[in-house]
Amino acid sequence: MEDTILVVNCGSSSLKVALFDINLRQLTSALAERIGKSDAFARITGHSRDIPLQSGAGHRDALQALVSAFRELSLLTSPPVAIGHRVVHGGETFREAALIDDSVRQAIEDCAGLAPLHNPVNLTGIDATTELFPDVPQVAVFDTAFHQTLPRHAYLYALPYRFYRDWGVRRYGFHGTSHNFMATETARLLGKAPGETSIISAHLGNGCSITAIRDGISVDTSMGLTPLEGLVMGTRSGDIDPGLFEFLETKDISAESLHRILNNESGLLGLSEKTNDMRTLSELADQGHEPSIVAIEVFCFRLARYISAMMASLRELDALVFTGGIGENSAMVRAKTLSHLHLTGFAIAPSLNRQHGNKTDGRINREDSRFKVMVIPTNEERVIAREALETSGTVSHS
């Protein structure tokens, strides 16, 4: 019987599950999509056959179906030794991962006002695994926790102070698990102690964020009160002028429609009027599709601006690090972005960039570059598994 750690990531309409051994080697992963819809389905990576889900299946049903499938395939022969849950918002309550008990569960519920689409489904996941494995320690790993080290000047908005005091309106930052992983992984690859390593970490997936990490801790980040602020993303606008709200009122666009537009119809999709998928956009741009060219240009320029902005928080820079589906795979985005930053002295080697980093440390910069530039695949599930193991007090056999 193998000791395993189960990692559960409940998104608003999706569920990702991964299984690790106690040495943090990934054993398998699975995905359920279109949760709550008539065509919900689940699939285990490497298995071509879908796992049937009933029409309208919720997160709890999908989780039960996937755990049953893991058991049938002998991927899970005994209860896991620990379960790690990705929880989106920990507010100012959680500075690190937490072993889930009644008071932690309540605190996650209390933060739901800050992440109404996410924290409630995260709790559904926690409740479902509590039913399935009542005796297994469960750990909540928060997207926001890594950014709780942000200094006041970086997290406060210039709004009436009572918004912060009374309602907690401030910048929280997200993707903390990934940025945390980038910090420790870059330190490892550079042979430095994490507490002595300073990087700019660019996580570019469907959601995109960038973080300045000084001596191992987060000191500035592009996402704010919600994951809408900052960079251009797949379907999210990132930064906009708040004056837009008043203007759009004159066009009869309600607050509810605007929320949908900014979250689901903007970003790469909004600009290109075609797709939120960078790979498809690159192909379209190569064929001369002007709106796709424009979308990529805006994406890269905003990213370049943010890279320079992050420098305001650092005393030195060990490396600029790219990760996420776009960051890891798009040599074009990396090259275009850095081409804006003549003054900062990043010089990338086209051949290393094309191969997405050299084999030893993911480096893509030329030897004469003022700063290192690296490509490092992120692994949020693995960080959650590690935190689940450490926070639950489960002793590693490694």
Stretch that binds ligand ADP, among 77-85, 121-129, 183-191, 326-334 (CB under 6 A): 326-334
Q: Decide if residue 329 touches ligand ADP (CB under 6 A).
A: yes
Question: Could you tell me the smallest distance in angstroms from the CB atom of residue 333 to ligand ADP?
Answer: 7
Classify residue 101 by burial, with Cβ atoms within 10 Å: 0-12, 13-18, 19+. Answer: exposed
Q: Decide if residue 379 touches ligand ADP (CB under 6 A).
A: no
Q: Decide if residue 71 touches ligand ADP (CB under 6 A).
A: no
- Complex with ligand ADP: residue 31 or 189, whichever CB lies closer: 31
Bridge pairing between strands 138-142 and 98-99: antiparallel
256: left (phi over 0), alpha (psi -120 to 50) or beta: alpha
- Complex with ligand ADP: residue 238 or 324, whichever CB lies closer: 324
Q: Decide if residue 178 touches ligand ADP (CB under 6 A).
A: no
Q: Decide if residue 153 touches ligand ADP (CB under 6 A).
A: no
Q: Sign of the CA dihedral 9, 278, 328, 338?
A: negative
Stretch that binds ligand ADP, among 88-96, 192-200, 204-212, 293-301 (CB under 6 A): 204-212
Question: Could you tell me the smallest distance in angstroms from the CB atom of residue 184 to ligand ADP?
Answer: 19
Question: Could you tell me the smallest distance in angstroms from the CB atom of residue 274 to ligand ADP?
Answer: 12
Element (H, E) at 181: helix 176-190
Give the whole-angstrom CA distance, residue 379 versus residue 23. 15
Residue with tokens 């928080």: 313
Stretch that binds ligand ADP, among 77-85, 101-109, 147-155, 202-210 (CB under 6 A): 202-210
Strands of 4-10's sheet, edge to edge? 51-52, 41-44, 26-33, 15-21, 4-10, 82-87, 138-142, 98-99
- Complex with ligand ADP: residue 206 or 369, whichever CB lies closer: 206
The question of whether 143 is a catalytic residue gets the answer yes
Residue with tokens 């989106």: 88
Q: Which one from 3, 61, 143, 318 is the annotated catalytic residue? A: 143
Question: Token pair for residue 24?
Answer: 């943090």
Give the whole-angstrom CA distance, residue 48 versus residue 28. 14
- Complex with ligand ADP: residue 337 or 394, whichever CB lies closer: 337
Question: Could you tell me the smallest distance in angstroms from the CB atom of residue 11 to ligand ADP?
Answer: 9
Give the whole-angstrom CA distance, residue 389 versus residue 190. 25
Residue ranges in 217-246 that form contacts with ligand ADP under rule CB under 6 A: 234
When binding is defined by CB under 6 A, the residue of 326, 383, 384, 389 that contacts ligand ADP is 326
Give residue number: closest CB to ligand ADP.
Answer: 325
Give the whole-angstrom CA distance, residue 268 versus residue 299. 7
Question: Could you tell me the smallest distance in angstroms from the CB atom of residue 155 to ligand ADP?
Answer: 24
- Complex with ligand ADP: residue 8 or 76, whichever CB lies closer: 8
* Residue closest to 36 by CA, chosen among 16, 11, 18: 11
Binding residues for ligand ADP (CB under 6 A): 205-207, 234, 277-279, 282, 324-326, 329-330
Active site members: 143
